[in-house]
Structure 1
């Protein structure tokens, strides 16, 4: 497992909050993958959980254990998870990770929202098929965020997932055009969050 962090965003957005969310809201963003899961902690720090193919299904335990540790340490009010791809060959593999992580969220009492990739991309970069460089550029423009060791964009996507949760629950981390923010109405958000 390799952990790499987010380079602290600059001062491009005066409302960006890097340590504690407005109103104390704690959101964790999860971009799940069997090989490289992106995590955005409630503090704003991002990292990847990397696994090795030779470890087979034990990779699920590595991911589960790390998420379990993050949930216990950071006690998020809500998790925002990128939903399964609809018509992709990798959907079955990703579904295994989804099942393990969703079970962990349920056991920890953390409600979660599922955001499809196209909705996330439209929210972040104003285009449902935005590529990883466009997502990273949008993060930099929104809050000065840059990501290290993130060739696949896992940390960036997790960062954006966390941002969607803050935006939906009325504690946005930065300003976005209303048209982009409106894309979040497609998400089935938990109504009540633990406090």
Structure 2
């Protein structure tokens, strides 16, 4: 597992800030952004379906410490197929069992929130993170997970970055769950 440390501003105590986990799910390299802003990529030596168990276990290890998971959804044309769909199923099951709500953000919506363009490439996403937050990441999985967490924080009134209103408006396309009141 590789990780990067949060920017100093991301670790400041904020009282009632929701604890959000950003997840860019993949069977080979799942990117994550923890509630403190640190990011990483979950990789392992496991083979085949055992990777599903490893990813599920890793997410379950954080379930008690989060209020919401924000997950990059599958592209519309791939919703019913493939191993990534199996990863989504395993992770969603863990979250449901733990009582943790989650929001699904399509890749196009995430890209539009981060860059203003729904068809932005990985480089544009990384440049936007560098420009808006001074953040650099070990890989694009971490970058996407960080943007997912940023979108969740923005949606629930605890934004750590500022994006133009037109980009924020893209978050209206997401079915955001209601969060229980977060303890201070």
- On whether the aligned pair clears a TM of 0.5, the verdict is yes
Using the TM superposition, give the Cα deviation of residue 19 of structure 1 relative to its aligned residue in structure 2, in angstroms: 4.9
Aligned-pair CA distance for 1:193 = 3.0
Residue 121 (1) aligns with residue 119 (2) = no
**Equivalent position of 1:9 in the other structure:** 7
Give the corresponding residue for 2:177. Answer: 190
Classify 1:112/1:20 alpha carbon distance in 2 versus 1 (closer, same or farther; 3 Å): farther
CA change 1:194–1:35 in 2 (3 A) is farther
Mapped pair 1:175 → 2:162:
yes
Secondary structure of 2:144's aligned partner: helix
Q: 1:88 to 1:107 in 2, by over 3 A?
A: closer
**Separation in 1, partners of 2:79, 2:125:** 23
Alignment of 1:84-95 (within 5 A): 84-88=74-78, 91-95=81-85
C-alpha root-mean-square deviation of aligned residues, in Å?
A: 2.0
Cross-structure match for 1:47: 40
Tell me how far apart the structure 2 counterparts of residues 69 and 185 of structure 1 sit (CA, whole Å): 30
Note the C-alpha offset of 1:24.
Answer: 2.8
Residue 65 of structure 1 aligns to a residue in which SS?
A: helix
SS in 2 for 1:17: helix
Q: Which runs of 5+ in 2 are unaligned?
A: none
Q: Relative to structure 1, is the Cα distance of residues 91 and 193 closer, same or farther in structure 2, using a 3 angstrom cutoff? A: farther
SS of the aligned residue for 1:136 comes to helix
TM-superposed deviation, 1:4: 1.6
What TM-score do the two structures reach when normalised by structure 2?
A: 0.91
Runs of 5+ unmatched residues, structure 1: 11-15
Q: Is the 1:81–1:113 contact (alpha carbons within 8 Å) kept by the matching residues of 2? A: yes
Count of aligned pairs between the two proteins: 182
1:74-153 equivalence runs, <5 A: 75-88=65-78, 91-148=81-138, 150=139, 153=140
SS of the residue corresponding to residue 66 of structure 1 reads helix
Q: TM-score, normalised by structure 1?
A: 0.86
Q: Which residue of 2 aligns with 1:35?
A: 28
- CA distance 1:179–1:22, change in 2 (3 Å): farther
